Each structure stands twice: as structure tokens, then as C-alpha cells.
Amino acid sequence: MLVLDRLTYAHPGQASPYAFSMEAAPGQITAISGPSGSGKSTLLDLVAGFLAPTSGSLTLDGRNLVPLPPEERPVSLLLQSESLFEHLSAERNVGLGLPPGAPDAAGRIAQALAEAGLKDIGRQRASTLSGGQKQRVALARTLLRDRKVLLLDEPFSALDDHTRTVIRALVRELTERHGWITILVSHYRDDVEALASRQYRIVGGKLEMA
């Protein structure tokens, strides 16, 4: 279980600090909604370690994550832009999720691509892939990282309706299969309704059950 307990932060010049309290369970997708500027991205940055809270706690299965830098946290982040190297092949982009010298790298990359529905395009350059295929590559890379928490920051907004439906289904399937703790931030109500097991809304800098 991922638990935020009065996790507090204020940007410079911000009159009233954010104070986030919530729980997110393995195998489920927890959605965070709220208007632009309400603090959704700030919450994700606090979980990922890009921002340091001024007070409060952030724990995963009882382990305190606050002292850990981003690279040591069991957290992956999937954005609207897939953060791929366009000149590299799909399989080489996926392989970036493995540490150098990892055993059986080729086999593990092939397995991750197959699980993400990309069995036959591993050698294609990222620049030749569709938006949906690129998001699948990013998800395959997440599989190899084997991190328990997956943060989704508007990951479907650049996709057409059909592709969004397909990728949403894949995210749900992978979350359930691997027991990820997935947190979704999206402005799209249909994304939230299709995926969320639990919903929160940021109101006045605090989280409320939706």
C-alpha cells in the first residue's frame, strides 16, 4: 500500500501549502482529478521524488520513501510524451529499462515487447511508430524496470479515441497482472471512469474522495 499522510509542499509564493493524504492499493488504479493548477502534477512530483515535502510522510508497505532520491524510488512515470529516443529501435528503447550488463537482456526485452503487444516491431525505429505503439514501448520499458508504483500523467491525451481505449485496457491489464500501484492524473473524465478503482479530487490543496 502506498500511503501519503499530510504530505505538505508549497511552491515559492504559494500562500497556502498543499497537504495530501491518500491511500493507493496494489493491482488498482487510483485517479486524481482537479482543475489546472490545483496540484495534480505537484502530487506526482512528490511521489516520484522530484520535489521534497516540507512535512508529512510517504510510505510504501511501511517503508519511508521521503529520504530516497528519484532514481532509488520504486516508481516509474509515464507521460503524455513517451520520452523515447526517436533514432533508436523499439527494442533498444525498451532495453533502457535494464541496468547495464543485466542477464538475458535480449530475452527479457523480447518478453516485455510481447506482453505490451509489440512482438513484431522490435527492430523498427521509434520515429516510425504510431502514438499508440510508442506508448506501448514506454509501458514495455516500465515492465523491465519492475517498479511497484506507476505514475500516469495525462498519458492518453495525444491518442485518438480508438487507440486510447486500447492502451487504457492494456494499462488496466498490466496493473492487475503485476500488482502495480497505479496513480492516474487525467483531465479526461472517460479515462477516469474507465480505469479508476478509487477516485480523489484536489480541492483547496487537499485530496477528497470523489
Identify the DSSP state of 57: E
Domains and CATH numbers, the chain: 1-74+179-210 (3.40.50.300)
Residue 161: pLDDT band (50, 70, 90) is confident
pLDDT at 102: 84
Contacts of 53 (CB under 8 A, 6+ apart): 7, 8, 9, 46, 66
Within 10 angstroms of residue 179's Cβ, the number of other Cβ atoms is 12
Helix (H, G, I), strand (E, B) or coil at 29: strand
Which one, of 186, 166, 181, lies nearest residue 22 by Cα? 181
Report whether pLDDT(94) > 80.
Answer: yes
Residue 81: pLDDT band (50, 70, 90) is low
pLDDT at 82: 62
Spatial separation of the C-alpha atoms in residues 98 and 141, rounded to whole Å: 8
| The pTM of the whole model exceeds 0.85 | yes
